Amino acid sequence: MDPIRLGLAALLSGLLALERKAFLQAMLSRPLVTGALLGAILGHPLEGVAIGAALELFYLGAVNMGASLPDNELFTTVAAVSCACALAGRVADLTFPATLACAALATLPTAKLGKVTDRLSERLNGWIASLVEGEGDERRIRTGLRHNLYGLWMPFLVAAAACVAGAFAGKLVLPLLLTLGPAGLPRGLAMAWGAFLLVAAAAAARTARTGRAFVWSTLAAAATAGMHAAGLWGER
Amino acid sequence: MIRDAPTSPAPRQLSRRTLRQVFWRSLFLQAAWNPKGMQNLGFAYALYPALAELYPDAAKLAQATERHLCCFNSHPYFAATIVGGAVHHEERIAQGEEPPEAVNAYKQSLMGPLAALGDGFFWLSLRPACGAVASLVALGLVSAGKPLAAALAGVGTYLVSYNAVHLAMRARFFAQGYLLGDAVVERIAASRLAAIGQRLRVLATVAAGAAGGLSALALPWEPQHEPWAALGAAGLFAACHGALAKGISPYLLAYAATALALCFGLFF
């Protein structure tokens, strides 16, 4: 993988991490958008947008309400996309869906790690806030208020590191593990991608918390799959 | 309390430039979110340009700033209303028309209800609807092998549909908070956000189900098995939905389902 592209992707990951909670929250850091942007930078837009869409569905219910912290979906997206882009084309017989499954399954638990770093970041922010509170002096307060922006550093660095770590896993670790696996592994992984999409969509449908979510979503699933089987939607 | 005592708008003292600065800084409300004061530092940071203009005396400025370092937490978009309202109250306090405690009473009264309203509408309705529809569009185009169209249409659908509502409402909340003060509550109460949110949640559910149906395309079925794949996808989707409804962790389900699929692919 081109180091310049990886550096740009890491920089973008850091900036998107700021947008996730600290600034604006215009959904630029959601998995679908992040996946598409990182995939384009890393030269694999199809991998980026496919993983992004799947993770968007999987984490559609991840909501930061009050003091509760959800799993960090950005952390996983960044790691999964950089991993998939680094892995693409490196292992013989590993098809497109198999690559996606491999990257997504390998990086999914990192969302929990991201949550831990979010908690640490909040503790650091608590210390920053304590520097300002109780200051009677106007000049010190004014300087202290600028410390509000120091809270941006940790999410930036953590997300950039996740991008690099994902690329490392996709380039070195996963190819080695895949070559040690049985011959039918790529076909199994391709089926696993379909299964992951199913679970992600079901998790998204559960998020909406509507009275008849089960009926509406199952009917929609049957209709879409049926339309495709009848040749009315897309091509295989 | 706030509903019973609407205040009349004070004569405006702040320049448009300062108000724009306050609004811009309010976008950094959660930059230093912390467990003790929550959004307190971000709130004081946002308000500081207005306070600096209202209180030329350094000691009064320090007192005014410290007022806003008390614990504060609300929905980040709806907090724009409270930031605007706090500027409104600070103008009146600076003119001696209100006691300094009035601004914190305003903040404390509104932050809870507006947080609940914002969470319900933005986080649990608008975002799931935009995200599910955009993902459906992107997955549909990915399955057709059109990466550029998938990226542009998926991302475009998401960002445009979400931010057309988000940014317009956020700016409007700030302006209304500043202009109306306590009377902004009546405006918000008159909005139909809860009813709109309910419809958006149905849209999210249907779009997510349709995306589940698309997952059948990712499975390497033989052409003669297509109808069974469609039926199987719908059945498996319903099974996954039921399992999640029973409280099974999505992570556990994801790994269990993919492990089963992996075994199926390996041995059949």
What's the confidence (pLDDT) of residue A234?
Answer: 57
CA A202 distance to own-chain centroid: 18
In Å, how far are A98, A109, A122, A197, B260 from A51, measured between CA atoms? 12, 15, 29, 10, 20
Complex prediction ipTM: 0.92
Chain A interface includes B210 (CB < 8 A): yes
Interface test with B, best of A76, A149, A197 (most B CBs within 10 A): A197
Per-residue pLDDT of chain B (268 residues; tens, 9 = 90+): 344 444 555 556 899 999 999 999 999 999 999 999 999 999 999 999 999 999 999 889 999 999 999 999 999 999 999 999 999 999 999 999 999 999 999 999 999 999 999 999 999 999 999 999 999 999 988 888 788 898 899 999 999 999 999 999 999 999 999 999 999 988 888 888 999 999 999 999 999 999 998 876 666 666 666 677 777 888 889 999 999 999 999 999 999 999 998 898 888 7
Q: State how far the Cα of B156 lies from the Cα of A81, in Å rounded to an integer.
A: 19
Q: State how far the Cα of A218 lies from the Cα of A54, in Å rounded to an integer.
A: 18
Domain ranges of chain A: 3-209
CA atoms within 13 A on the CB side of A154: 21
In Å, how far are A127, A216, B118, B197, B205 from A205, measured between CA atoms? 39, 9, 21, 15, 5
Chain A interface includes B247 (CB < 8 A): no
> Over A135-151, what HEC string results?
CCCHHHHHHHHHHHHHH
Chain B interface includes A215 (CB < 8 A): no
Q: Which of B249, B153, B215 is nearest to A220 (CA)?
A: B215
CB contact under 8 A, A190 and B220: yes
Of A136 and B126, the structure prediction assigns the larger pLDDT to: B126
Chain A interface includes B155 (CB < 8 A): yes
Q: State how far the Cα of A25 lies from the Cα of B30, in Å rounded to an integer.
A: 10
Q: Which of B108, B89, B107 is nearest to B99 (CA)?
A: B89
Interface test with B, best of A55, A57, A121, A224 (most B CBs within 10 A): A224
**A173-188 pLDDT, tens digit each:** 999 999 998 888 988 9
Q: What is the DSSP string of B20-69?
A: HHHHHHHTTTTTT-BTTTBTHHHHHHHHHHHHHHH--SHHHHHHHHHHTT
Of A66 and B171, the structure prediction assigns the larger pLDDT to: B171
Which B residues, 165 through 204, put their C-beta within 8 Å of a C-beta on chain A?
A: 166-167, 198, 201-202, 204
Q: How far is B81 from chain A (nearest CA, A)?
A: 15
Chain A interface includes B262 (CB < 8 A): yes
Q: State how far the Cα of A22 lies from the Cα of A150, in Å rounded to an integer.
A: 11
Q: Is the pLDDT of residue A42 over 90?
A: yes
The neighbour count for residue B144, using CB atoms within 10 Å, is 15
Q: State how far the Cα of B160 lies from the Cα of A31, in Å rounded to an integer.
A: 16
Ramachandran assignment for B214, one of left (phi > 0), alpha (psi -120 to 50 degrees), beta (any other): alpha
Of A236 and B86, the structure prediction assigns the larger pLDDT to: B86
The residue type at A197: L
What residue of B is the nearest CA neighbor of A58? B250
Q: State how far the Cα of B230 lies from the Cα of A229, in Å rounded to an integer.
A: 6
Q: Which of B244, B229, B235 is nearest to A202 (CA)?
A: B244
Q: Which of A234, A95, A54 is nearest to B265 (CA)?
A: A95
CB-nearest partner of A53 from B77, B139, B251: B139
Q: State how far the Cα of A209 lies from the Cα of A212, in Å rounded to an integer.
A: 9
CB contact under 8 A, A189 and B40: no
CB contact under 8 A, A203 and B151: no
Q: Which of B36, B100, B109, B113 is nearest to B71 (CA)?
A: B36
What's the confidence (pLDDT) of residue B4?
Answer: 42
What residue of A is the nearest CA neighbor of B56? A138
Region of poorest pLDDT, from A7-16, A25-34, A61-70, B17-26 = A61-70
Q: Which two tokens stand for residue B34?
A: 């912390």
What's the confidence (pLDDT) of residue A236?
Answer: 47
CB-nearest partner of A213 from B41, B147, B205: B205
State mean pLDDT over A117-146: 79
- Report chain A's mean pLDDT, rounded to a whole number: 90
* Three-class secondary structure of residue B72 per DSSP: strand
Q: How far is B1 from chain A (nearest CA, A)?
A: 23
In Å, how far are A169, B36, B76, B230, B234 from A189, measured between CA atoms? 17, 46, 41, 20, 21
Backbone angles phi, psi at A136, to 5 degrees: -90, -20
Which A residues, 56 through 115, put their C-beta within 8 Å of a C-beta on chain B?
A: 56-58, 60-61, 63-67, 97, 101, 105, 108-109
Which A residues, 183 through 212, put their C-beta within 8 Å of a C-beta on chain B?
A: 184-185, 187-210
Q: Is the pLDDT of residue A72 over 80?
A: yes
Q: Which residues of B touch A210 (CB under 8 A)?
A: 198, 201-202, 205
Backbone angles phi, psi at A208, to 5 degrees: -65, -20
Q: Which residues of B touch A150 (CB under 8 A)?
A: 32
Q: Which residues of A touch B142 (CB under 8 A)?
A: 46, 49-50, 53
Q: Which of A132, A49, A60, A208 is nearest to B43 (CA)?
A: A132
Q: State how far the Cα of B124 lies from the Cα of B129, in Å rounded to an integer.
A: 9
What's the confidence (pLDDT) of residue B3?
Answer: 42
CB contact under 8 A, A33 and B155: yes
CA B69 distance to own-chain centroid: 23
CA atoms within 13 A on the CB side of A161: 10
pTM above 0.80, yes or no: yes
Q: By the 8 A CB rule, do B90 and B99 touch?
A: no
Where would I find the beta strands (DSSP E) of A34-160? none
Q: Which residues of A touch B71 (CB under 8 A)?
A: none
What's the confidence (pLDDT) of residue B5?
Answer: 44
Question: Over the range A132-163, which residues count as b (16 or more CB within 10 Å of their CB) and which as e?
Answer: bbebeebeebbebbebbbbbbebbbebbbbbb
Q: State how far the Cα of A191 lies from the Cα of B259, in Å rounded to an integer.
A: 10
In Å, how far are A145, B152, B216 from B143, measured between CA atoms? 49, 15, 10
Q: Which residues of B touch A197 (CB under 8 A)?
A: 139, 211-212, 214-215, 218
